[in-house]
Amino acid sequence: MYRNFYFLAIILSLFVSTTLCANDLPSYLQAEEKGRSFVAPTHLLYDGEDISVSIKQDGFSTLDNSEMNREDLYACRFLNILEILPVLENYGKVLYLSPNKTEAIMSLTDQDKIDDLAALLHTKGGVIACGAIIKLSSPSEIIALEGIQTLASEELAVELADEIMQREADPRITSMTSKVNKDNIRKFVEELSAYNNRHHRSSTGAAAADHIFKTFSAIAQSNPDLSVRKVNHSNTPQPSIVATLRGTTKPNEKVIIGCHIDSINGNGSGAVHRHAPGADDNASGTATVKEIMQIISDSGIKFARTIEFHGYAAEEAGLLGSGNVAKEYKAKKEVVVGMIQIDMCLYNTGDKTIWLVSNDTSSKHNELAAHLVPLYTDTETKSAMLWGGTSDHRSWTRLGFHAIFPFENPRSYNRKIHTTGDTITSTEDFAFASNYGRLGIAYLASLAEIE
């Protein structure tokens, strides 16, 4: 069904007239369609589903300081071209439109319009999935990050996954997974969805971030090895939250679990003020990460590697928080052996399946998750592409780290996300969310290595 909708979008693009310029990219950028023989170019700015955009080999010599550090470049992804194309230029300048008209590179400078475009794409940009907006790195960041190798992370991530997939269930991990409590997850979802919204530029978005920080900090009070900090960003007032459980013998090697803490309502303009309870998207993921942290911290188990619990700011506005954190980790040459993103885990279509998103993720660690699920949960996994939307795992995979995204059914997603209807009563299946908690514990504990 997914492929049918995708090809329908392509067919429709042939008949949709638009005045948008197909290619108005700056002279130092080039776009390329991705075919079977596609090889990713160097200086890659955007790696999309059908196109890539990169800086030309000789392009750097033409860049002045303002162009090197420009922060206005975004990628927009959508299948619903009938809704999106006629209004796209209302939000900023379209620099490039893919041949099938489902991906655009844009220059966006008005923050209110960026938020409203994000809301539009999330709500009306898809057919069987929402659209997406992704903040792109500046040319100077591309240059700086390309010179940093992630081979240590990549090689160790593969080696560990292969080793773990040879093992049977570990009773110490089983003991932790048995403690996942759906009522605890529900309680924190109720707390977070009670805010008017958790928009990254709203006062309630700031208050929700502070509430998450205080909740994580309360867990850390009983564990001297666990610390919590806020990570402030230059491109959003909402902070990300990072909790660190320091490893014993290999503390410089890290395994990360992430979620995003913001929410958005995509109906109309003024997204910063609109009611967006975001119970499924993504109070559910945040509450699940909190439950995982509580159980691991309370277990008293020591791990060789450091475990980090991340709550990312402004995912809905273009993966801002995770993008900043991932770039910082790469710049510092951090060794990250794996990353798992929990984003939406309340909407169950009936079969309890955990879906492993196959694009923008690590195939090796998807295999690892498929191995862990039957060992530590009461469900199974399936795999599928997620075309229109994305989540914070993409910030890590695009920089060479191994990351995965276990998700609800990409072909039958929760249609009430990004609306006032994303409430507990409309999406409630906390037993379903509990299995994501069990997978998260198994993934972290297996990679972090119990001492």
DSSP string, 338-372: EEEE--------SS-PEEEE-SSS-HHHHHHHHHH
339 and 417 share a domain? yes
* Burial of 150 (C-beta count, 10 Å sphere; 0-12/13-18/19+): buried
106 and 199 share a domain? no
112 and 89 share a domain? yes
Chosen domain end from 98, 113, 144: 144
Structure tokens at 114: 């960026």
Which secondary structure element, helix H or strand E, spans residue 93, and what is its range? strand 93-97
286 and 267 share a domain? yes
How many Cβ atoms from other residues are within 10 Å of residue 64's Cβ? 7
Residue 368's φ and ψ, nearest 5 degrees, are: -60, -45
CATH for 388? 3.40.630.10
How many Cβ atoms from other residues are within 10 Å of residue 90's Cβ? 10
pLDDT mean across residues, the chain: 91
194 and 134 share a domain? no
The answer to whether residue 13 scores a pLDDT higher than 60 is no
Q: What amino acid occupies position 432? A: F
196 and 75 share a domain? no
Chosen domain end from 81, 115, 144: 144
The answer to whether residue 364 scores a pLDDT higher than 60 is yes
**What pLDDT digit, counting tens, does each position of 218-277 carry?**
999 999 999 999 999 999 999 999 999 999 999 999 999 999 999 999 876 788 999 999
Identify the residue whose tokens are 């990312």.
312
Q: What is the pLDDT of residue 389?
A: 84
Burial of 18-48, coded b for 16+ CB within 10 Å and e otherwise, reads eebeeeebbebbbbeeeeeeeeebebebbbb
135 and 185 share a domain? no
64 and 109 share a domain? yes
**What pLDDT digit, counting tens, does each position of 168-201 carry?**
999 999 999 999 999 999 999 999 999 999 999 9
Select from 285, 305, 287, 273 the least CA-distant residue to 392.
285
Tell me which of 411 and 199 has the higher pLDDT. Answer: 199
The answer to whether residue 281 scores a pLDDT higher than 80 is yes
Chosen domain end from 95, 113, 144: 144
Q: What is the pLDDT of residue 314?
A: 97
347 and 412 share a domain? yes
Cα–Cα distance between 28 and 59 in angstroms, integer? 4
Query: How many residues are there in the chain?
Result: 451
Burial of 286-317, coded b for 16+ CB within 10 Å and e otherwise, reads bbbbbbbbbbbbebebebebbbbbbbbbbbbb
Domain of 29, in residue numbers:
2-144
Select from 402, 410, 409, 406 the least CA-distant residue to 434.
406
Q: What is the pLDDT of residue 3?
A: 43
**pTM listed for this prediction:** 0.94
Are 246 and 240 in contact by the 8 Å Cβ rule? The answer is no
The answer to whether residue 427 scores a pLDDT higher than 70 is no
212 and 243 share a domain? yes
191 and 117 share a domain? no
Cα–Cα distance between 439 and 292 in angstroms, integer? 10
Are 65 and 94 in contact by the 8 Å Cβ rule? The answer is no
Identify the residue whose tokens are 């960026």.
114
Select from 47, 342, 303 the least CA-distant residue to 188.
342
Domain count, the chain: 2
210 and 342 share a domain? yes
Structure tokens at 432: 């379903």
